[in-house]
Amino acid sequence: MRSKVVLVRHKNIFDSRGRLKRPSVTEALDAGLKALTGDRDSRDSLRSLFDASGAVALKSNCLSGRMLSTAPELAFSLAEELHVIGIKKSNVIIWERTERELASAGYSLNPKGGDFRVLATDSRGAGYSRSLFVSGKVGSLLSRIMTGIADFAINMPILKDHNLAGLSGGMKNYYGAIHNPNKFHDNNCDPYVADVNALPDIKNKNRLTVCDCTRVQYHGGPGYKPHWCEKFGGLLLSKDPVALDRIAYNILEQLRRKNGLGSLKEERREPKYIFTAGDDEHKLGSCSIEDIDFVEVGLS
Amino acid sequence: MSRIDRREFLRYGALGASSLALSSFPFGGKILDFCPRAYALELTGDLSTEEARYYKKLEESVVGCELCPRSCKVADRERGYCGVRENREGEYFTLVYSRPCSLNVDPIEKKPFFHFLPGTTAFSMATAGCNVNCKFCQNWDISQVRPEQTRNYYLPPKELVDLAVRYKAPTIAYTYSEPIIFYEYMYDTAKLGHTKGVRSVMISGGYIKEKPLVDLVRHLDAVKIDLKAFTEKYYKEVCHGELKPILECLVTLKREGIWTEIVYLVVPTLNDRKNEIEAMCAWILDNLGPDVPVHFTRFHPMYLLKNLPSTPVKTLEMARRTALEKGLNFVYIGNVPGHEGENTYCPECGKVLIKRTGFSILSNDVVSGKCKHCGKMIPGVWS
């Protein structure tokens, strides 16, 4: 079965001061969802993926502060869309590892609900699982947001270079769901990223990846380095986490070439884990470009 | 996929810590209540911001850790493999300085040290973190987590030394997790302890670079090294580490003249072959001499190795016999309470010198460092 990855680029997504414009973000998100599922209405796209009675956890990436994190404008646009299809606001959870990271990226914490919930694994009442989960070479405790709160998940990473993994996109973002990510960075994170994403609570619950490519850090990551960060103005969407990372890998390499940098392979940082995730042992998605329908949508 | 129940480990841990446990677990209390002289300790949610030692600044705000042979290259906002050292805008910090998560008063025999002040206690402490990831780890709930995930006390070196004095422990033991990862805290405490007559011992896997090791041992009184196997394959696949640096560490300890004991955890089917044990004993004999105590200890299913049985006692006996036949003088069996292999025997006259069961001393015939029966000098730290 073929996989589809959608790249939406919006020429008018930043205002004159470089801030994201929420209406344009929502417009790009809607266009991406429609292109992904073939529906005429993005709400139908979401209905095809999520049961309105369930809780949906949106995994952000807020390691690198306001300038290089999943934009709140995007996370809340998606949260609103989920609410519109009938999911209770308190059942839409935007989350990260720590409250500190969420706050640094511009999110206001709201762990208890009443509106969309914004919480972290270190929030009171969350924490990590008591049981250890084992997958391949990974043995970890998992965030209880994934094991105990969420029925479904949406991965909302950013696209950035990573000094050890090579690329940090969708699958790598779930390192933020385990208690011991520091143990799994050897060998360019291979096969560990694939093993983490094979954990049943991640593999079975994650229905969609929406990668924030409004800004892309093409070198010097994972921290924010403005001189190697491009205002790309895009979103990547897919139901296949491996296919999305495979396309993200191409985009990152294109940006590196454009800016006179060597390839990740030349720097011995090739994200091999993408191909491991697509191998016969893991079967998490399509890692071959030939098996991926890549759709580009331009907005202005 | 398999799931391992964490409560089970906590239960083991609580038993292992015996009745003296202060709390490595979230009991919620602030009082060390294992003895009548209860002492209030402050729990803290803050991590330390003490600058790490032994690192270099690289390009693009990356730092290179030079503490252990893993030599982590750590980007801004990231941590090393140990999980307790963090790069913040090109500077490297230890997050666990003065932040122990586990405090106990243990018999020194529990470390185990059999030739170091037998019958005394060690004020024992650990922080979160470790620089390897052994599949059999008994204390993974503190060693394989980040310091945010443990309940930590605020206990600077001076107060730690004062506590040891208060509880009449002649020794502080840095143990349970991997002391190398809280190097700065251990170093400063050990140095201060010597000024107050408190000794320090490190219980470690020995995965450390030579320079920091040499600097540290000047302030230590004994070291116990877990020599986990004698093949690189085992170290790579079971421990996520390397053998060669551990052997180099042992040679350095010998050269520096610090009292050292070795523990070899015998894991069924993985490191229990006679030829491997023979090779290890030959190496010890050649490089460290016949007098370094070697403890062959019994494995119990733990952490990520729950599929193997406990080590048969006869396997431990084979290992001990092999080591004795190779010419090592002090070879012990561990985790088998009441076994004759727990006793110390005089290598000259063959008589029992120290009779033990579990962590208890039943009799001690080492007098002024000599065998009471034949006068043979017995290596160790006896007073």
Q: Any chain B CB within 8 A of the CB of A122?
A: yes
**Nearest-by-Cβ selection for A135 from B1, B78, B149:** B1
C-alpha span between B271 and B237 (Å, rounded): 12
Please check the confidence at residue A50 and state whether its pLDDT lies above 70: yes
- Give the whole-angstrom CA distance, residue B103 versus residue B247: 30
| Residue A101 near residue A78, CB atoms below 8 Å | no
**Cβ atoms within 10 A of the Cβ of A190, count?**
21
Check whether B17 has a pLDDT greater than 50: no
A222/B contact by beta carbon, under 8 A: yes
Q: In the structure encoding, which two tokens stand for residue A252, read together?
A: 């990152």
pLDDT of residue B9: 30
Contacts of A258 (CB under 8 A, 6+ apart): none
List all residues of chain A from 16 to 55 with a beta carbon under 8 Å from chain B. Answer: none
Long-range pairs for B70-79: beta carbons < 8 A, 24 or more residues apart = B70/B131, B70/B207, B73/A163, B73/A164, B75/A162, B75/A163, B75/A164, B75/A221, B75/A222, B75/A223, B76/A222, B76/A223, B77/A63, B77/A64, B77/A222, B77/A223, B78/A163, B78/A222, B78/A223, B79/A182, B79/B146
**Mean of the per-residue pLDDT values of chain B:** 91
Is the Cβ pair B7, A185 closer than 8 Å? no
Position B82 in a domain = no
What CATH number has the domain bearing residue A134? 3.40.50.11440
Task: Tell whether B133 lies on the interface with A, counting CB pairs under 8 A.
Answer: yes
Q: Structural domain tally of chain B?
A: 1
Q: Is A40 exposed, middle or buried (0-12, 13-18, 19+ CB in 10 A)?
A: exposed
* CATH at residue B216: 3.20.20.70
A29-38, A132-141, B15-24, B125-134: segment of lowest average pLDDT: B15-24
Segment A229-253 shows an average pLDDT of 98
The CA-based dihedral angle spanning residues A203, A209, A212, A216, taken in that order and rounded to the nearest 10 degrees? 60
Buried b (16+ CB within 10 A) or exposed e, B113-138: bbbbbbebbbbbbbbbbbbbbbbbbb
Domain that holds residue B269: 99-371
- Of chain B residues 3-22, which have a CB less than 8 A from chain A? 3-7
In a domain, B16, yes or no: no
pLDDT per residue as tens digits for the range B250-304: 999 999 999 999 999 999 999 999 999 999 999 999 999 999 999 999 999 999 9
Examine the pLDDT at B30 and tell me if it is beyond 60.
Answer: no
Task: Please tell me which of the candidates B3, B73, B133 has its beta carbon nearest to residue A132.
Answer: B3
Contact A182 B149 (CB under 8 A): no
| Residue pairs spanning A and B at CB distance below 8 A | 76
Q: Would you call A183 and B240 a contact, using CB atoms and an 8 Å cutoff?
A: yes
Residue A278: φ, ψ to 5°: -95, 0
Q: Which amino acid is at B6?
A: R
Beta carbons of A134 and B3 less than 8 Å apart: yes
How far is it, in rounded angstroms, from Cα B62 to Cα B87?
8
Candidates A132, A162, A219, partner chain B, best to mutate (most B CBs within 10 A): A132
Chain A positions in Cβ-Cβ contact with residue B6 (cut-off 8 Å): 129-132, 141
* Chain segment B62-82, per-residue pLDDT in tens: 999 999 999 999 999 899 999
> Which DSSP symbol is given to B67?
S
Q: Look up the ipTM and state it.
A: 0.88
Who has greater pLDDT, B45 or B328? B328
In a domain, B55, yes or no: no
CB A181 within 8 A of CB A168: no
Q: How far is CA A149 from the centre of its chain?
A: 19
Site of tokens 């996929």? B1
Give the per-residue pLDDT at B39.
57
What is the rounded distance in angstroms from the CA atom of residue A275 to the CA atom of residue A281?
Answer: 11
Q: Is A166 on the interface with B (CB under 8 A)?
A: no
Q: B242-265 pLDDT, tens per residue?
A: 999 999 999 999 999 999 999 999
Instruction: Establish if A289 touches chain B: CB-CB under 8 angstroms.
Output: no
Do the strands B85-88 and B91-94 form a parallel or antiparallel pair, or are they unpaired?
Answer: antiparallel
Render pLDDT for B79-136 as a digit per residue (tens, 0 to 9): 999 999 999 999 999 999 999 999 999 999 999 999 999 999 999 999 999 999 999 9
Nearest CA to B83 out of B171, B191, B177, B190 is that of: B177
The nearest alpha carbon in chain A to B89 belongs to A223
Interchain contact A63–B (C-beta under 8 A): yes
If DSSP states are collapsed to H, E and C, what string results for B212-266?
A: HHHHHHCCCCEEEEECCCCCHHHHHHHHCCCCHHHHHHHHHHHHHCCEEEEEEEE
Q: For residue B168, tell me if it sits in a domain.
A: yes
Measured CA angle at B222 (ends B170, B103), to 5 deg: 50
A69 in B contact zone (CB under 8 Å): no
C-beta atoms of A222 and B73 within 8 A = no
Q: CA separation (Å) from B51 to A10, B149, B151?
A: 44, 21, 22
pLDDT at residue A227 tops 70: yes
Nearest to A200 among B1, B73, B144 (CB): B1
Angstrom distance (rounded) from CA B193 to CA B199 = 6
Chain A's closest residue to B83, CA to CA, is A182
Q: Which residues of B touch A131 (CB under 8 A)?
A: 3-6
Q: What pLDDT was estimated at residue B21?
A: 37
Type of residue numbered A200: P
DSSP per-residue letters across A240-276: -HHHHHHHHHHHHHHHHHHTTPPPTTTTT---THHHH
Tell me whether residue B12 is in a domain: no
What is d(CA B185, CA B202) in angstroms, rounded to the nearest whole number?
Answer: 12
Burial of A246 (0-12, 13-18, 19+ CB in 10 A): buried
Q: What is the pLDDT of residue B143?
A: 97
Report the pLDDT value the prediction gives residue A44, as an integer from 0 to 100: 97
Q: Band of the pLDDT at B42, cuts 50, 70, 90?
A: confident
pLDDT greater than 50 at residue B204? yes
Which of B17-31, B36-50, B180-194 tops mean pLDDT?
B180-194
Cα of A186 to nearest chain B Cα, Å: 9
C-alpha A294/C-alpha A176 separation (Å) is 27
Residue in chain B lying closest to A223 (CA)? B76
Question: Quick check: is B358 in a domain?
Answer: yes
When pLDDT is cut at 50, 70 and 90, the band that residue A66 belongs to is very high
What is the number of structural domains in chain A? 1
| pLDDT for the residue numbered A114 | 84
* Cis amide linkage into residue B112, ω under 30° from 0: yes
In what helix (H) or strand (E) does residue A160 lie, and over which residues does it extend? strand A158-162
Predicted pLDDT at B40: 64
C-alpha to C-alpha distance for B8 and B140, rounded to whole angstroms:
12
The reported pLDDT for the residue numbered B45 is: 80
Q: Dig out the tokens for B77 from the structure.
A: 């906002």
Residue A207: CB atoms within 10 Å: 15
Q: What is the mean pLDDT of residues A182-205?
A: 97
Nearest by CB to A134, from B76, B81, B304: name it.
B304
* B105: in domain: yes
Task: Indicate whether A218 pLDDT > 60.
Answer: yes
N- to C-terminal Cα distance for chain A? 33
* Res B29 pLDDT > 80: no
- Rounded to whole angstroms, how far apart are CA atoms A167 and A146? 23
B52 has a pLDDT exceeding 60: yes
Q: For the stretch B146-178, what's the b/e string if a residue is b when 16 or more beta carbons lie within 10 angstroms of its beta carbon? A: bbbbbbbbebbbebbbbbbbebebbbbbbbbbb
Nearest to B320 by CA among B310, B332, B338: B332
CA–CA gap between residue A94 and residue B151 (Å, rounded): 26
Contacts 24+ apart (CB under 8 A), B24-27: B24/B101, B24/B102, B24/B103, B24/B104, B24/B126, B24/B141, B24/B142, B24/B150, B24/B176, B25/B141, B25/B151, B26/B151
Q: A184: nearest CA in chain B?
A: B81
> Is the N-terminal amide bond of A191 cis, ω within 30° of 0?
yes
Q: Do B86 and B95 touch, CB atoms closer than 8 A? A: yes
Count Cβ atoms within 10 A of the Cβ of residue A98 and give its class: 0-12 exposed, 13-18 middle, 19 or more buried: middle
- Residues from chain A that touch B63, judged by Cβ atoms under 8 A, are none
Cα separations in angstroms, B114 against B118, B319, B353: 6, 18, 11
Yes or no, beta carbons of B82 and A223 under 8 Å apart: no
pLDDT at B18: 33
pLDDT of residue A112: 84
What digits encode the pLDDT tens for the residues A24-39? Answer: 999 999 999 999 999 9
Give me the pLDDT at residue A135, please. Answer: 97
Q: The tokens 């070439």 sit on which residue?
A: A257
| % of chain B at pLDDT higher than 90 | 88
- Residue B77 has its nearest CB partner, among A122, A134, A223, at A223
- Would you say residue B88 lies in a domain? no
In chain A, residues with a C-beta closer than 8 Å to the C-beta of B3 are 131-134
pLDDT at B64: 98
CA A201 – CA A149 distance, rounded (Å): 11
* Inter-chain residue contact B77 with A225, CB threshold 8 Å: no
Percent of chain B at pLDDT > 70 equals 90
Which among B6, B60, B81 is the nearest to A182, CB-wise? B81
Answer yes or no: is pLDDT of B33 > 80: no
